[in-house]
Amino acid sequence: MARVSILMNCFNGARTLKEALDSVVAQTYADWEVIFIDNQSTDGSGEIAASYGPRVKIVQTPRKMTLCEGRVFSQPYVQGEFLAVLDVDDLWFPEKLARQVQIMDENPDVGLVYSNTMYFSDRDGDVKAAYVETMPSGDVFRAILRNYFISLETVLVRRSVMDRHGLYFSPRYNVSSDLELFVKLAFHTRFQYIDAVLAKWRFGHGNESVHQFMSFPREYEQLLVDLDEMIPDFEKRYASEIQHLRGVIENMYGIGNWKKGDRRQALEHFSKAKGYNRKYWLPYLLSRWLPYSVYGKFREKIGKI
């Protein structure tokens, strides 16, 4: 059995799949297997994966699944000591697994290792690092609860920690299943950040609909319910982080309604958001007069709000 199980969920990913698998084969650490979830592909993705030999273990889904459903479906097949996830349009640099496994072997109290990543685009060649500052290590629960900062393709997780606490990708989450898993893991184990770019995340994973966008605040609300059930005195112990997150939730609802053209609902949520954080005054004021398309261009220039 390989020490590292690499989960790869694929629906019609032939255009980028070979590049992703080549980046796995190029790893300087060799004790890995790919659990390739073929999600009813019709473009030859399964044949491409099969051409890499027995280290790429192909599992067919019984029906077309969402990305998160495919990850939930993968659980019985992921048997390695460590779990990594690589989507078919993302890439790893050759030393990614070697550096992360070394940290795991030297630090048995660390349950998750992550790194910096590079954002890139096929369309215009834009490339930029995700983080410009050093990210936190150790007990990161408060930090990750306030501001989720993990990029999935950079992660290596110690599976025994997941098993000990009954954690894996949850069927209750769709657009934020990785966020839910890693926030909960952060309460139970130490994280270690590697201050180096070890992966590449490709822009254009799919066009996000307004419906999908509105799932994010709903799933954040579900996360707060889950954490309240999981952690004694959660509301009291983490009041500041919860208040910050409620502002984020209301702002996301505001943005979603603004995108839909429902300014009344948008203003209602922005009004609540600015009660948590004054920075949400800006979208509140702008949404009174401007369509979201104008605001979206504004955000691209000055940074996300």
Domain boundary among 179, 202, 225: 202
Q: Are residues 85 and 189 in the same domain?
A: yes
Q: Are residues 193 and 263 in the same domain?
A: no
The helix/strand/coil state of 210 is helix
**Predicted local distance difference test score (pLDDT) of residue 126:** 65
Q: Are residues 126 and 230 in the same domain?
A: no
Q: Are residues 245 and 281 in the same domain?
A: yes
Q: Are residues 233 and 177 in the same domain?
A: no
**Predicted local distance difference test score (pLDDT) of residue 261:** 93
Q: Are residues 55 and 132 in the same domain?
A: yes
Question: Other CB atoms closer than 10 Å to residue 143's CB: what's the count?
Answer: 16
Within 74-192, where are the H helices?
96-106, 141-146, 159-164, 177-188
Q: Which amino acid is at 82?
A: F
Q: Are residues 198 and 246 in the same domain?
A: no
Q: Are residues 93 and 110 in the same domain?
A: yes
Segment 256-272 shows an average pLDDT of: 95
Q: Taking all residues of the chain, what is their mean pLDDT, rounded to a whole number?
A: 94
Domain boundary among 174, 202, 230: 202
Check whether 298 has a pLDDT greater than 90: no
**Predicted local distance difference test score (pLDDT) of residue 59:** 98
Structure tokens at 230: 């999981």
- What pLDDT digit, counting tens, does each position of 124-166 carry? 666 888 899 999 999 999 999 999 999 999 999 999 999 999 9
Check whether 123 has a pLDDT greater than 90: no
Check whether 16 has a pLDDT greater than 60: yes
CATH number (domain holding residue 64):
3.90.550.10
- What pLDDT digit, counting tens, does each position of 73-120 carry? 999 999 999 999 999 999 999 999 999 999 999 999 999 999 999 999
Check whether 208 has a pLDDT greater than 70: no
Q: Are residues 220 and 179 in the same domain?
A: no
Q: Are residues 188 and 110 in the same domain?
A: yes
Strand pairing category for 127-129 and 110-120: antiparallel
Domain count for the chain, please give it.
2
Structural domain boundaries, residue 236: 210-302
Confidence label for 271 from pLDDT (cuts 50, 70 and 90) = very high
Structure tokens at 225: 């319910």
**Predicted local distance difference test score (pLDDT) of residue 207:** 54
Segment 249-261 shows an average pLDDT of: 95
CA–CA separation, 76 and 172 (whole Å): 18
Check whether 300 has a pLDDT greater than 80: no
CA–CA separation, 70 and 39 (whole Å): 7
pLDDT over 90, % of the chain? 87
Q: Are residues 77 and 182 in the same domain?
A: yes
Structure tokens at 9: 């969920």
Tokens 């029906």 sit on residue: 63
Domain boundary among 183, 202, 221: 202
> Count of H helices and E strands in the chain?
13, 9
Q: Are residues 62 and 176 in the same domain?
A: yes
Contact 150, 144 (CB under 8 A): yes
